[in-house]
Chain A
Amino acid sequence: MAKHVLIVGGGLAGTIVANGLCRQLGNELRSGQLSITVLSATDTHMYQPGLLYVPFGRIREAELFRDERKVLDRRIAFFVDPVTRIDVDANKVTTESGKSYGYDYLVIATGSRIMPQEVPGLAEGAHWFYDLEGARKMRETLGTFAGGKVIVNSNVPHKCPVAPLEITFMLYDFLRERDLLKKSEITYTYPIGRLHALEPVANWAKPEMERLGIKYETFFNTKEVDAKGKTISSEEGVTLPYDLLVTIPPHKGAQVIMDSKLGEGGWVPTNPKTLHREGSNNVFVVGDTTNIPISKAGSTAHFEADTIVDNLVSLLQEDRMAREYDGKVYCFVETGTKTGTYVWFNYTTPPNPGPPSQMIHWFKLAYNRLYWLSARGLL
């Protein structure tokens, strides 16, 4: 009997799974034994890490986008029809247009979204670069910024854990290149007691910030922002004045996950190795959507998606799982506008970042284009 794999979400994770299955299951697709459907809320695929460069005018907006239909293998049925309900008991999802889709295997790849409105005053008082509209506004503001107190502020949870450091060092270089450093002061705030979640990265960042004169405030969980008075206050009792506030907003998972009662905050309880939804053996969860205590990042989505592809292929062909996800995460870290480094780790290997270099920065710039090969399942 023909099998149907349904993928909810057309971001990086869902796209890699869909394309990866096509590459390995050509015979099954050709014979009609298998069909693959992707449901997405949008017809456009965005390269999200590219948003980091938008505030500085270092990337053209058009470079961030591709038509998702063209990124997906043509053998995949693709519909722009947001899913409004996922019923894992009935093996069925329903969409905004009122259609229902059954499945033999479901892959939930609904991702995460920024929620600046969850902190009083944050949406009114802060800039961010986690969506195109916010990144454009930040670019406009930076274009006329004449110097002052700059705060880079991080909220929990957030995706792309290295972004707070990247934007800080890039802002430093931006101000230096515009000869605004003497008129400016950068303060970096972070929710825990060191400068980054990854201890080796924090150990690198601390002397680097001290060398550059970047101030920092640890144990800073945002309580509220006074957009008129231009101050930001923490749950820990610290209030800082600012002229320019750049925030990494708190995130939540997709509304459909919450509406379907699949996980608090929109995060689906997921087995960290098999990537099964807890309680289901025909539902996989991938990317930001999981509740696995691991970085929400494109590379996490990529490596998880590769695991799910291998397992779905084995399940469909031989009725067995092929392998477990080992927790691998790989992140480039831009350490300014001209240098970069990288860090990788998994469930058992701690991170050990190398010294920043121009070469790694160039490779990151190259990856900004190579990304589309990842999405197609080629890299």
Chain B
Amino acid sequence: MMAERRKIDARGAFCPGPLMEMIATLKLSQVGDEIEVWSSDKGSSKDIPEWVAKVGHELVSNEERDGYWSIVVKKLK
């Protein structure tokens, strides 16, 4: 099966928030899939990469756009 990129628009999502949404989506994904999270919370640009490093997935990109952050993570296991 081809790897997919799934997008989560979690801008303005206070609870459960961008990282929990990403973890939930990773559970539904296959190894090799990428998850792109949009967050309006600057904290996501720090805590998502921190978690990804702890668990052993790959941070593909982490960039600020027009008023929000786009963080792309690749599922490695």
Residue numbers of A with Cβ under 8 A of B are: 156-157, 161, 191-193, 197-199, 219, 221, 235-237, 250, 264-265, 293-295, 327, 329, 345, 347-348, 350-351
Q: What's the Cα separation between A196 and B43 when bound, in Å?
A: 14
Q: Is the CB of B15 within 8 A of A329?
A: yes
Q: Is the CB of A156 within 8 A of B27?
A: yes
Which B residues touch A197, using CB under 8 A? Answer: 14-17, 20
Q: Is the CB of B12 within 8 A of A347?
A: yes
Q: Known pairs A157-B24, A192-B23; list 14 more (Cβ under 8 Å).
A: A156-B27, A161-B16, A197-B17, A197-B20, A198-B17, A221-B23, A235-B55, A236-B54, A264-B28, A293-B18, A294-B13, A295-B15, A327-B12, A345-B15
Interface status of B58 (Cβ within 8 A of chain A): no
Q: Is the CB of B15 within 8 A of A156?
A: no
For A250, A293, A347, the residue with the greatest tally of chain B CB atoms inside 10 Å of its CB is A293
Interface status of B71 (Cβ within 8 A of chain A): no
Q: Is the CB of A219 within 8 A of B14?
A: no
Closest 8 CB pairs of A and B: A293-B13, A157-B24, A197-B16, A197-B15, A293-B10, A347-B12, A156-B23, A295-B15
Q: Is the CB of B47 within 8 A of A345?
A: no
Q: Is the CB of B21 within 8 A of A293?
A: yes
Q: Is the CB of A193 within 8 A of B55?
A: no
Interface status of B50 (Cβ within 8 A of chain A): yes
Which B residues touch A293, using CB under 8 A? Answer: 8-10, 13, 16-18, 21
Identify which of A156, A193, A221, A350 contacts B14 (C-beta below 8 A). Answer: A350
Which A residues touch B17, using CB under 8 A? Answer: 192, 197-198, 293
Q: Is the CB of A348 within 8 A of B47?
A: no
Interface status of B19 (Cβ within 8 A of chain A): yes
Q: List the B residue with the shortest CB-CB distance to A347.
A: B12
Q: What's the Cα separation between A192 and B15 when bound, in Å?
A: 12
Q: Is the CB of B51 within 8 A of A351?
A: no
Q: List the B residue with the shortest CB-CB distance to A196.
A: B15
Q: What's the Cα separation between A317 and B23 when bound, in Å?
A: 43
Q: Chain A's nearest CB lies how many Å from the CB of B22?
A: 9
How many residues of chain B are within 8 Å of chain A by beta carbon? 23
Which A residues touch B50, using CB under 8 A? Answer: 193, 219
Q: What's the Cα separation between A198 and B13 when bound, in Å?
A: 10
Q: List the A residue with the shortest CB-CB distance to B43.
A: A199
Q: Is the CB of A192 within 8 A of B51?
A: yes
Which B residues touch A294, using CB under 8 A? Answer: 13, 15
Q: Chain A's nearest CB lies how many Å from the CB of B54?
A: 5
Q: List the A residue with the shortest CB-CB distance to B56.
A: A235
Q: Is the CB of A193 within 8 A of B24?
A: no
Which B residues touch A219, using CB under 8 A? Answer: 50-51, 54
Q: Is the CB of A345 within 8 A of B51?
A: no
Q: List the A residue with the shortest CB-CB distance to B23.
A: A156
Q: What's the Cα separation between A250 and B47 when bound, in Å?
A: 21
Q: Is the CB of A157 within 8 A of B54?
A: no
Which B residues touch A347, using CB under 8 A? Answer: 12
Q: What's the Cα separation between A3 and B9 when bound, in Å?
A: 35
Identify which of A161, A192, A264, A327 contacts B19 (C-beta below 8 A). Answer: A192
Known A219-B51, A221-B55; judge A191-B20 contact (CB<8 A).
Answer: yes
Q: What's the Cα separation between A351 and B55 when bound, in Å?
A: 29
Which A residues touch B16, using CB under 8 A? Answer: 156-157, 161, 197, 293, 295
Which A residues touch B54, using CB under 8 A? Answer: 219, 236-237
Q: What's the Cα separation between A345 and B55 when bound, in Å?
A: 31
